[in-house]
Structure 1
Amino acid sequence: MDKLTADDLIYGYINGIFPMADSDGTLYWYAPDPRAIIPIYTYKPAKSLRPVLNRHQFDIRLNTAFSDVMRGCSKPRSEDDSVWISDEIIDAYTELHHMGLAHSVETYIDNRLVGGLYGVALGSAFFGESMFTVVSNASKVAFHYLIQILQQQKFTLLDTQFINDNVRRYGAIEIPKADYLRQLKLALRNKVRFIDQVSQQV
């Protein structure tokens, strides 16, 4: 296979598949069954997060450090953690970002990037890829702000690919692949926009 491109990613997402890299950089495409999604309109922040939000300790920015967020996400979280975001993947998603289809939500303290997440928006579907944090609660606040955007812009599908303890805390559920593909088909027909809003303190 030739080098991964933004067009490959678009084709993959509209067909319900996504790439991940092996430890040696080899790319594989995945289509989990069941598929994990996060219901957008039933999300509620955890009680423990509400005091953090009320303290307004983080500045939130959109799409100002996309590649930096990806590189933050690419770092292993522990000695046993596998890395699936290769340089090739970073390059392809950055290309997609320049096309206006891949987005980052970033958290800052004193102008220092301390957490964030990135994903892809097509139609009214947002495909959440990964998140990272170097300060407690930074990624949780980024996710909270992501949900606000998706709700305001009337997105209908938030894909989180695989179920795990991290996404469960945000309300992730599993649905059959056939159901996911049906929801995806409907979401791709809608025309909504992942709006770039000005910085906000959260």
Structure 2
Amino acid sequence: MIRIPILRPGSREAFPRIDQALHEPNGLLAAGGDLSPTRLLEAYRHGIFPWFSPGEPILWWSPDPRMVFATDAVHQSRRLNRWLRQCPWTIDADREFRAVMISCAAPRPGQTGTWITASMLDAYCLLHEMGHAHSIEVYEADRLIGGLYGVAVGQMFFAESMFSHATNASKVALMALAATLRRWGWPLIDAQVSSDHLRTLGAIELPRQAFAAHVARLTARAGATGSWTGCLALERAAELAGQPAAR
């Protein structure tokens, strides 16, 4: 039987130390609590995130290793770079946060459900209204075709999920986010759990303790709360051609 600490909803009790997370399943740290802004922001400041399926209690995770993107090393192939030069898409942030989350929640091919539950949707939309959660959106004319969302604490961005309704649209959102954060001096994007797909985009693994040290340092810095609409480093996908991450 798996035994982990149980947090009480509405309480201010601290999370367990992340080195107490289970090895199997990798990173499971605690259950229960709530999805209040205070609890969520405290989790991210410690390198912890919620991830659970419908019908399960809230589960809190801190896997080892942790997958991250360096904002100056998102993979951009020469083929993609050539394609970007002719791409007519535009990019913005925080215009359609709820729509981005709903699109991210749509089951992928071969899946029947989603971990982005109604309670998660409401919780992160509240964080967005408070200026802590942000979406990056890719548009073809006025149609939303791709994007991602996550949480910013200090100078650390914790990516949660992305979606694409057109080939390369989620890559464009990720590259636009990286370009913006790089310009702001933010070095890392958290990508949470390792996957082969993320590796193809340039993500690397960090030992959990090294990741936690980066998080402690970066979340303590002054960040960029409030709406990011109109604040990205670029407005057109074609401007991504020739970015420093291209190789």
What TM bracket, shorter-length normalisation? over 0.9
User: Are the aligned partners of 1:154 and 1:192 in contact in 2 as well (CA < 8 Å)?
Assistant: no
| Deviations 1:77-101, CA, capped at 9 Å, x for gaps | 1123651111101111111111111
Counterpart pick for 2:95 among 51, 54, 64: 64
1:98 maps to what in 2?
A: 129
Work out which of the two has the higher radius of gyration on C-alpha atoms and give 1 or 2. 2
Q: Among all aligned residue pairs of Structure 1 and Structure 2, give the percentage whose two residues are the same amino acid.
A: 34
Query: Partner letter of residue 62 of structure 1?
Result: A
Counterpart pick for 1:155 among 170, 174, 186: 186
User: Are the aligned partners of 1:155 and 1:192 in contact in 2 as well (CA < 8 Å)?
Assistant: no
Query: Partner letter of residue 55 of structure 2?
Result: D
Query: Partner letter of residue 235 of structure 2?
Result: Q
2:77 maps to what in 1?
A: 46
| Deviations 1:108-128, CA, capped at 9 Å, x for gaps | 112111110001111111001
Equivalent-residue separation in structure 2 for 1:12 and 1:160 (angstroms): 15
Query: Partner letter of residue 213 of structure 2?
Result: R
1:120 maps to what in 2?
A: 151
Query: For the structure 1 residues 127 and 81, does the alpha-carbon distance in structure 2 shift closer, same or farther, using more than 3 Å as the test?
Result: farther
Q: Which runs of 4+ in 1 moved over 6 A?
A: none
Gaps of 5+ in 2: 1-7, 10-33, 238-247
TM-score normalised by the chain length of structure 2: 0.76
**More moved, 192-201 vs 21-30:** 192-201
User: Are the aligned partners of 1:153 and 1:192 in contact in 2 as well (CA < 8 Å)?
Assistant: no
Query: Partner letter of residue 53 of structure 2?
Result: D
**More moved, 60-69 vs 186-195:** 186-195
Query: Partner letter of residue 201 of structure 1?
Result: R
Equivalent-residue separation in structure 2 for 1:115 and 1:145 (angstroms): 12
2:175 maps to what in 1?
A: 144
Query: Partner letter of residue 59 of structure 1?
Result: T
CA-atom RMSD in angstroms: 1.8
Query: For the structure 1 residues 82 and 169, does the alpha-carbon distance in structure 2 shift closer, same or farther, using more than 3 Å as the test?
Result: farther
Counterpart pick for 1:134 among 159, 162, 165: 165
Query: For the structure 1 residues 25 and 85, does the alpha-carbon distance in structure 2 shift closer, same or farther, using more than 3 Å as the test?
Result: farther
Query: For the structure 1 residues 171 and 44, does the alpha-carbon distance in structure 2 shift closer, same or farther, using more than 3 Å as the test?
Result: closer
User: Are the aligned partners of 1:116 and 1:139 in contact in 2 as well (CA < 8 Å)?
Assistant: yes
**More moved, 47-56 vs 9-18:** 47-56
User: Are the aligned partners of 1:25 and 1:86 in contact in 2 as well (CA < 8 Å)?
Assistant: no
Aligned residues: 202
Counterpart pick for 1:80 among 111, 124, 135: 111
The Cα shift of 1:24 comes to 2.4
Indicate the structure whose relative CO is greater, using CA pairs within 8 Å and at least 6 residues apart.
1
**More moved, 17-26 vs 141-150:** 17-26
TM-score normalised by the chain length of structure 1: 0.93
User: Are the aligned partners of 2:75 and 2:200 in contact in 1 as well (CA < 8 Å)?
Assistant: no
**Matched residue SS, 2:149:** strand
Query: Partner letter of residue 200 of structure 1?
Result: E
The Cα shift of 1:42 comes to 2.6
**More moved, 1-10 vs 29-38:** 1-10
